[in-house]
Structure formats: C-alpha cells, structure tokens
Structure 1
Amino acid sequence: MQIKQSHLVALAILGGVLLLFVVGGVVGALTKKPEAKTEAKPQAIMVTTRLIEPELRPGAIVLRGRTEAARTVIVRAETAGPVAAVPAAEGSFVRKGAILCRVSIDARQASLDQARANLKSRQLQKQASERLAAQGYRSQTQVLQDQANLDSAQAGVRQAEVLLEQVNIRAPFSGVFDRREAEVGTYLAPGGACGTMLELDPLVIVADLAESQIGKVRVGETASAVLTTGEVLNGRIRFVARDADPQTRTYRVEVIVSNPSSRARSGLSADVRIATPVSAAHRLPSSALVLGSDGRQGVRHIVGAGQVAFTPIEILEQGPDGVWVSGLEGPVNLIIAGQSFVNEGQTVRVRAETAAAPAPAVAVAPVKAASQ
C-alpha cells in the first residue's frame, strides 16, 4: 500500500514538534538552578518569672482534723427488769447523777422494808441482851452473838438499798444524752444499754501528723482549730501517739479545747493549726506548684543564664493569697507562667513579671511538653 505524500509530510511535522518539546525539557532541567534549602531553627520557650524573697513567719503546722467528744459512754443497766420511765430527753444536756432510765421497782422496795424490820428487831434484841448481861443473866458470848446478828441486819439493809437504787440508771458525768437505746416497756438485762452519753466540754480535736512533722510537736504546746461552722477554738496538745497507724504511717494528735455550753458538736471537720518556732519560708502562688519527674511536689525556677531547675518543697500553710512553703533557700526566681512546658536543665528565654501588667500566658513552640 502506498502512503500518500501529504501523510508523510504531516508525520514529519509531528515528529519535529515532539522532538522540539523533548529537547526543550532536557535543556531546561539542566539549566535550572537548585533552590537553597532552609531549616527553621527552633525558638526557645519564653517563661515569666517572679522574684520571691524568703520571709520570717511564726511557724505553724496545719492539719486536717475532726472533733470528738472527750468521753463517750454507753450507760448500761446494773439490774434486770422492764423500763418504767425515761425522764431524760434524747439530745438534751444533763447533769452528773441525773436519771436517764428507770427500771421497774418490782419487789425491791418490799425487800428493803423487810431488811429494815429485821434490823429493828436485831437492835432491840441487842439492847435486851446488854441489859440482861449487866444483871448477870446472859453471858458475854451471847451478847457478842447478838452484836453479830445486828451487824448482819445492817449489811442486809445496805444491800437492799443498793438493789433499789440500781433501778435508776444515772448519768456518769455532765454532758449530752445523745442517743437513747431503751424505751418504756423495754426489758433490760444486766448490761443492757439505756443510751449514750457524750462529754463535749472540754472537746477533743483529733488530727493525723506525718512522719516528717512528728519531731516538731510536743504535748502542752498551743494549738487552735477552725471548724467548718467558722467557729475558732483554742487549746493545747494533750496527747501525741508514740505508735504510727500501720495503714497511713501517721501519728494521732489530740488537742483539748474549751467548749462552753457544748456549742461545738462531735464529728465536725476542722483545720488544726499547731504553733512552732519562727522560721524562714517562701509565699508562692499556688498555680506555680508542679510535679517533678520523680513525682514529688515542687517548683521550677531559673538559675544561671536561663536554665530551668526544679526544687521539691513542703507546704506549710495554704490560704487565699497563696501557699507558704519550706525547702527553698534565699531569693528564688520562680517561674509563674510556662512552668508546665519546660524540663529541668532546659534553657529558656526569661521575662520578669511587671507590677503594671502581669504577663499573659505565652504561646509555646512545638516541642515535646514536659510532664508536670
């Protein structure tokens, strides 16, 4: 088959165009200059700092505690019988010796009357025996026997009086009859509970002291407590445990305080403040506290030329204006913004806090965040 001349011309033109494109692409690739590669240098994190000076303050240990009654006694029956009366109102203040519950007298009064009659008979017999002995009609042995019978009758009267008095279950001390366990008609065996008595004046405030603080507390030192009701009570330490709780490794501390009219109740939460000698401490914003890599609580601060350091601290007292801590020495350039995004030993840019306008939170460069 013969190819037309026009077709050959078209193919030649197409081949020339394609060759032109190929040659132009190769030449352009060879003559193009490579672009310079630039790498952005990571920018150091900026933190805001505040210079914290140590201050002398009256030492104090602040603990979380609770109020307890000085004495808690379940008052029990000494004799058996049904309850005949409950004169004391539940929750009322009663004086020592007041009747809380009264057991039915039953035959106890009759037994006392019988013992008194027997005593009267023995007294008359003793008097007659002495007269007869004076006249020579009775021996001294018989007189002594009559005296022994009289002594026995007197003991019988005392026993009957005690048994009769035991029907009255009385308050062992002045306090609050907090809970009644028996009602009229309840049968009480010996040892059966009538109710619970609380002694709330004085009042005891109990707290748990850490091992690190046990050497700072002594019996007789002053202490105060702020109850959840807002009431402030002042007193002294009356007891510091010698043996730690096996579960919490803390020591029980008891503070005895005056509680007129038993206003404060047992079981209230309290912030206990125990006075200790004057010492140097730092007052920090609570937001500056962080956790170190070992899990201890502390603060991050600047040392040298912008290097981050971590120092563990112990909180002495916490309030609305910050926390008092120990463990820091001298002036500290404390990081108050950005402390959660830096690590110990890292170099940062530092901006000191100004009194006119506190530094806002600074945007952080895309680096790996440190654990608090």
Structure 2
Amino acid sequence: MRLKSQYIFVIGVVAVIVVYFLARTLLGGHGPNPAQAKTTAPIGMASVQVKLVPETLREYDVVLRGRTQATRAVQVKSETAGLVAEAPVLQGTVVPKGAILCRLAVDARQATLDREKANFRSMQLQQQANTELARKSFRSPTQVAQGQANLDSAQASVRAAEIALRQVDIRAPFAGVFDHRDAEIGNYLAPGQSCGMMIELNPLLIVGDVPETDAGKLKVGAGAAAVLVDGHSLSGRIRYVAHDADPATRTYHMEITVPNPQLAVRSGLSADVRIAAGSGPAHLVPVSALVLDSAGRQGVRYVTDDNRVAFAPVIVMEQTPQGAWVRGLAGPARVITVGQSYVAEGQKVRVAAAL
C-alpha cells in the first residue's frame, strides 16, 4: 500500500527532531553543564566608597523662619461722641504715652462742668448750715444725713463732668508710633470709633511657628538670634511658646522679645531665627550621602566592621557648605559616599576610601 504524501512529510519532520535531540545529548555530554557553570561562577562583590565620620559634641539649634511684630498694636478709640476738632499728630510719628492723638469739640461739656461745680458749692454751703443748725437742735439727724447725701451727689456730678471733658482728648495709651490715622478734622466719632492705630516697637517681637518635632526643645527664657532680610542682626529671649498646636499646620506659636530702643527695626520684616536648644552628639556627613530607606525614612547607609551595609535613620540639624550636621548615628561611622543607592542593608561590600 502506498503512503500518502502528507504522512511522509510528518514522518520526516519527526525523524529530524529525534536526530537533533540525539545529537545534542551526545555532544552535551562532553561539555560543561551551563546551569552548573552558572551556579559555580563567582559573584562580583559590590564596591563602595566610604568616609570615616567622627562623632562630635555640637550645640543643637532650632532654625526656623519668622517675622518681626509689634509688641502691642491698639486701635485708639473714642470714649465719647463729637466732631474731631484737632488732629495734632501726623501718622508715623513717635509719640510718648499720653500724647493727644485726636481732640473732639468741647461743645457744652465745659458749661456742664461749671454748672456742676456751682451746684456743688451750693450743696457745701447748705450742709454747713445744716450742721450748724443741728448743733443748736434746729435740724434733725435725718435732715443732716440728707444734706450730706446731696453734697456727695453734687461732688460725683462734678467728677462725671470732669471725666466727660477729659474724654474729648483721645490720648496715646503707651509710648510708641502713631502708625495710622482713621479720623480727620470734621469727622464725627461715636463712642467706640477709632482715631487711629498705635503700635509699640520697643521691645520688639519676633514670632514664628515651631514644628512639633522641635517644640519640646524650646524653653521660655532661652537665648535666640535672628538675621533680618536687610542683614540686621537681633538677639533676645523666648517669652512664650504655645502649648496647643495649630490644628491645620501642627505647629506651635513662639514669641521672642528683642530690644529696639531706636525703633530702627520695623514690624513685618522676615527673619531667619536660630534658637539654642542644648548640645549633644552629631556627625557631619556629605549631603549626597542622605538617602531614603524602603519605609521612606531619611538616613545614611554605612559599613559595619564586617563590611556589611547598614542603615541609620537621622535627623538633619543644619546644612552648611561643608555638609549636613545630623544626629542618629552612634560613635565613628564609615558613611557610604559613593554607591549608597545601589546596595541594600545586610549586603557584604568591598570598601574603598573616599577620594
């Protein structure tokens, strides 16, 4: 029986495959096993450069951004009603305590005071007469007491009229700068309306917001230094650190008092603030040595005594042109400066000194 052509083709293909595998088996028995060669080949050890960083005792400083602020800022308001008759002080003027900032029209206040004084003198004469008549038994004790009450009421009316007259003068409540005028001559001021703004610049405040990681390091009375945007340097002491954090920023408000006797420093200037917060061990490492681990923590990789890689989370205290001062390492450390991003914790490495 004659085979079909398609069967002959299939048999031929199968024969070729069989011959190929037989030949591969026979030839492979005389050469090395690729899998075995792969497992027995030596693995190249990673090479890193390290820098020996000694432990140093360093002052801890809390560094933050702040701004100058007036110790007090007060809207000086009228206590009575009237038209502004005088405005003797220009805004921006340095004034002593008690200086008149606005003066209202006197109107009938002086006349009221004169009337009350006259009434008081009349009550005095009546009471003198009552006392004299009572001594002669022509006045009862009740009448004398009534006369004394009338005299006291007249005296109180005089004091009230004097106060009302004094209230036409709106005065500076403290020494400082009359920074802004709100009322001009001819304006009508009702009780509670503002004449202008007074600010106190000596002493001056430097305020800022401290991160929650540093808030516990600050103490009231601790020394602080600030450098303003114009290069002016100030020094003072902490007077207040908040105990309740801002719910939005999780920061704590802080105030520093600094002397400003010449009122040369204005309110609202930006400042770089440095506050002493004790001392402790620190290491100066290259900024490039800082890395993140798998958990997102900032730190450095270093080499242990047996040449294995380890990771130490650190806190950056300060960055300088020489590097970053950090805390979190213990003792001298061989910090990896080249290759730190290509090795893992526990990996054994070949160590070369940093150039």
TM-score, length-scaled by structure 1: 0.75
| Cα RMSD, aligned residues only | 3.2
Distance 2:338 2:190 in 1: 71
Matched letter for residue 261 of structure 2:
P
Distance 1:301 1:189 in 2: 73
Secondary structure, aligned partner of 2:192: coil
Secondary structure, aligned partner of 2:226: strand
Aligned length, in residue pairs = 321
Matched letter for residue 180 of structure 2:
R
Report the counterpart of residue 364 of structure 1 in structure 2.
Answer: none
Secondary structure, aligned partner of 2:213: helix
Report how far residue 336 of structure 1 moved.
3.5
Report the counterpart of residue 247 of structure 1 in structure 2.
Answer: 248
Distance 1:338 1:92 in 2: 63
Report the counterpart of residue 204 of structure 2 in structure 1.
Answer: 203
Distance 2:316 2:323 in 1: 11
**2:168 matches 1:167:** yes
Report how far residue 280 of structure 1 moved.
0.9
Within 5 Å, give how 1:286-297 maps onto structure 2.
286-297=287-298
Secondary structure, aligned partner of 1:281: strand
Within 5 Å, give how 1:185-200 maps onto structure 2.
185-200=186-201
Report how far residue 338 of structure 1 moved.
5.2
* Cα gap change, 1:99 to 1:292, in 2 (>3 Å): farther
* Cα gap change, 1:335 to 1:87, in 2 (>3 Å): farther
Report how far residue 309 of structure 1 moved.
4.1
Secondary structure, aligned partner of 2:230: coil
Report the counterpart of residue 66 of structure 1 in structure 2.
Answer: 67
Distance 1:56 1:197 in 2: 47
Report the counterpart of residue 55 of structure 1 in structure 2.
Answer: 56
Report the counterpart of residue 94 of structure 1 in structure 2.
Answer: 95
Structure 2: state its 5+ residue gaps. 1-37
Q: Which moved more, 1:293-302 or 1:147-156?
A: 293-302
Within 5 Å, give how 1:1-372 maps onto structure 2.
48-303=49-304, 308-337=309-338, 339=340, 350-354=351-355
Matched letter for residue 74 of structure 1:
Q
* Cα gap change, 1:165 to 1:52, in 2 (>3 Å): same
Secondary structure, aligned partner of 1:183: coil
Secondary structure, aligned partner of 2:72: strand
Secondary structure, aligned partner of 1:142: helix
Secondary structure, aligned partner of 1:148: helix
* Deviation sequence 1:180-207 (CA, Å, 0-9, x none): 2222222211111122222222222223
* Deviation sequence 1:130-152 (CA, Å, 0-9, x none): 34444554444433333222211
Once the two structures are aligned, what percentage of the paired residues are identical? Answer: 57
* Cα gap change, 1:340 to 1:182, in 2 (>3 Å): farther
Report how far residue 343 of structure 1 moved.
5.6
* Deviation sequence 1:224-279 (CA, Å, 0-9, x none): 22222323322222222221111121222222222222322222222222223321
* Cα gap change, 1:346 to 1:229, in 2 (>3 Å): farther
Distance 2:294 2:69 in 1: 40
Distance 1:84 1:48 in 2: 81
Matched letter for residue 89 of structure 1:
L
Distance 2:86 2:44 in 1: 86
Q: Which moved more, 1:299-308 or 1:140-149?
A: 299-308
Matched letter for residue 244 of structure 2:
D
Report how far residue 291 of structure 1 moved.
3.6
Distance 2:293 2:107 in 1: 75
* Cα gap change, 1:342 to 1:81, in 2 (>3 Å): farther
Distance 1:87 1:42 in 2: 90
Distance 1:153 1:244 in 2: 55
* Cα gap change, 1:171 to 1:340, in 2 (>3 Å): farther
* Cα gap change, 1:145 to 1:99, in 2 (>3 Å): same
Report how far residue 306 of structure 1 moved.
6.1
Secondary structure, aligned partner of 2:158: helix
* Cα gap change, 1:321 to 1:181, in 2 (>3 Å): farther
TM-score, length-scaled by structure 2: 0.78
Distance 2:292 2:94 in 1: 51
* Cα gap change, 1:125 to 1:224, in 2 (>3 Å): same
Structure 1: state its 5+ residue gaps. 1-38, 355-372
Distance 2:106 2:223 in 1: 51
Matched letter for residue 331 of structure 1:
P
Q: Which moved more, 1:196-205 or 1:290-299?
A: 290-299
Report how far residue 208 of structure 1 moved.
2.2
Distance 2:122 2:321 in 1: 82
Report the counterpart of residue 7 of structure 1 in structure 2.
Answer: none
Distance 2:205 2:252 in 1: 16
Report the counterpart of residue 20 of structure 1 in structure 2.
Answer: none
Q: Which moved more, 1:100-109 or 1:217-226?
A: 217-226
